Amino acid sequence: MAAGTLYTYPENWRAFKAQIAAQYSGARLKVASSPPAFTFGQTNRSPAFLSNFPLGKVPAYQGDDGFCLFESNAIAHYLSNDALRGSTPQARAQVLQWVSFADSEIIPPASAWVFPTLGIMQFNKQATEQAKEEVKRVLAVLNQHLNTCTFLVGERVSLADITVVCSLLWLYKQVLEPAFRQPYPNVNRWFVTCINQPQFKAVLGEVKLCEKMAQFDAKKFAENQPKKETPLKKEKAGKEAGKQQPQQQQEKKEKEKKKEEKKPAPPAEEMDECEAALASEPKTKDPFAHLPKSSFVLDEFKRKYSNEDTLTVAIPHFWENFDREGYSIWYSEYRFPEELTMTFMSCNLITGMFQRLDKLRKNAFASVILFGMNNSSSISGIWVFRGQDLAFTLSEDWQIDYESYSWRKLDVDSDECKTMVKEYFAWEGEFKHVGKPFSQGKIFKKACATEDAHAKVLNFFGSSELLPENKKVVYQRRASRSACAPGGATSPV
């Protein structure tokens, strides 16, 4: 019988799947969801955690025997018994069918609808209306199936029921008010039956079904905003927050809401799961607080870099605005190129470092490039840091990787610096000092998983030259969007 620890944040519906499965199977499962055992945003970014769970995502399972597993469905499967997994080949396939159905058909519209009501995503009327229609469609499919069955597969609760119930949980709690759910009596009956099973109850507690469809929580959304990085977002957050005060009178509030509903939100303003997760991180002291204010707005440059042509707009903007007192430019090179084998592993090395330096992103920008091919490659990059010193010593969190690199401060007036900035930022040029062809580039800029997406697109296109410059930001913003439980945000849910 499996025995181990499940790392998660509290009230994570993904973790619930594993926890309920363990209730049925008798697997001994400890849940590490609060300090000191686990702090979301910290523990899952630590090198020890990342060495077992390279994505740094939760839930994550470690057996007492050392066996490690990520992906909630895999963990729930592992912690199940044969009865839950399905006792015949057909039943097992049906369980897999419903697990996949939950992930691909339920979670996307459920997130699009529910997240804004929890204030962790901007409201977009069109997207919400579309999500409602999609939810109706999946409920209809379930209702039809459950017309003749008590449970989704066979005569007993299976992993299919556990998974689908957990995926519907936030819909039932938040938005499926009685009138909306009334056309799906079989689904309602089945859902209530499941959540009242002692094994479900032990994990979910008393589930209160929605009485009134929750609407966009602009206040919570505004509260979540100020922690975000760009002035653009701050500005917006300010507006949102500002709106809240005069909105004491209900009438005005309604008007504002209507206004909000009319203008579709620009997608880049949404809070994705990473940002929601970051929003939950405890505040730490700003290690750059002692520096005088700089005239160089790094975020502005980053926006130019993301959205406009690198050579003709972003780099000229960089040099026109660069503040040599407030910032410094460094060349870094991986010290152990002979240890680099497969290029995808080298890329993970770079993105791993970026992840561990997450909190430095506000005060740094970097373009790090992998040159060469499998078993003959090198990594080097150009880093722009706030201040004149290497930033890594300013925080304990940042000291994991930097010693694996050599660091050389560049003379910002030198031709060498100008050429390197140009070549590394644009990912093209002779790279004379390298002697190997460009393979892949990674940009240290925005929070979470973005570089991976960029790299994936690059791999797909096969060459950086084919990458449409003005599309960079789109890949980055959409990279890791998937449904994250609201518990990962500041929301107490």
Ligand X SMILES: N[C@@H](CCC(=O)N[C@@H](CS)C(=O)NCC(=O)O)C(=O)O
Residues in touch with ligand X (CB under 6 A): 14, 56-59, 71-72, 273-274, 277, 448, 482, 484-485, 488
Measured from the CB of residue 38, what is the shortest distance to ligand X in angstroms?
Answer: 11
Specify the amino acid at residue 341: T
- Residue owning tokens 């609201």: 486
One DSSP character per residue, 286-336 reads -TTTTSPP-S--HHHHHHHHHHS-IIIIIHHHHHHH--TTTEEEEEEEES-
Beta carbon nearer to ligand X, 43 or 464: 43
What are the φ/ψ torsions at residue 438 (nearest 5 degrees)? -60, 135
359 touches 395 (CB < 8 A): yes
Measured from the CB of residue 354, what is the shortest distance to ligand X in angstroms?
Answer: 12
Report the C-alpha gap between 445 and 466 in whole angstroms.
Answer: 21
Measured from the CB of residue 206, what is the shortest distance to ligand X in angstroms?
Answer: 23
State the residue number with the nearest CB to ligand X. Answer: 484
Beta carbon nearer to ligand X, 210 or 279: 279
In angstroms, how far is CA 5 from the centroid of its own chain? Answer: 22
Contacts of 486 (CB under 8 A, 6+ apart): 11, 114, 115, 118, 120, 170, 276, 493
Q: What is the 3-state secondary structure (H, E, C) of 29-41?
A: EEEECCCCCCCCC
Measured from the CB of residue 57, what is the shortest distance to ligand X in angstroms?
Answer: 3
Report the C-alpha gap between 315 and 313 in whole angstroms.
Answer: 6
DSSP class of residue 217?
Answer: -
Q: How crowded is the C-beta side of 232, counted as CA atoms within 13 Å? A: 11
Measured from the CB of residue 64, what is the shortest distance to ligand X in angstroms?
Answer: 21
Beta carbon nearer to ligand X, 43 or 343: 43
Measured from the CB of residue 165, what is the shortest distance to ligand X in angstroms?
Answer: 15
DSSP E strands in 125-223: the ranges are: none
Beta carbon nearer to ligand X, 59 or 287: 59
Beta carbon nearer to ligand X, 120 or 391: 120
Measured from the CB of residue 447, what is the shortest distance to ligand X in angstroms?
Answer: 9
In angstroms, how far is CA 184 from the centroid of its own chain? Answer: 33
Beta carbon nearer to ligand X, 41 or 326: 41
DSSP class of residue 80?
Answer: S
Beta carbon nearer to ligand X, 217 or 273: 273
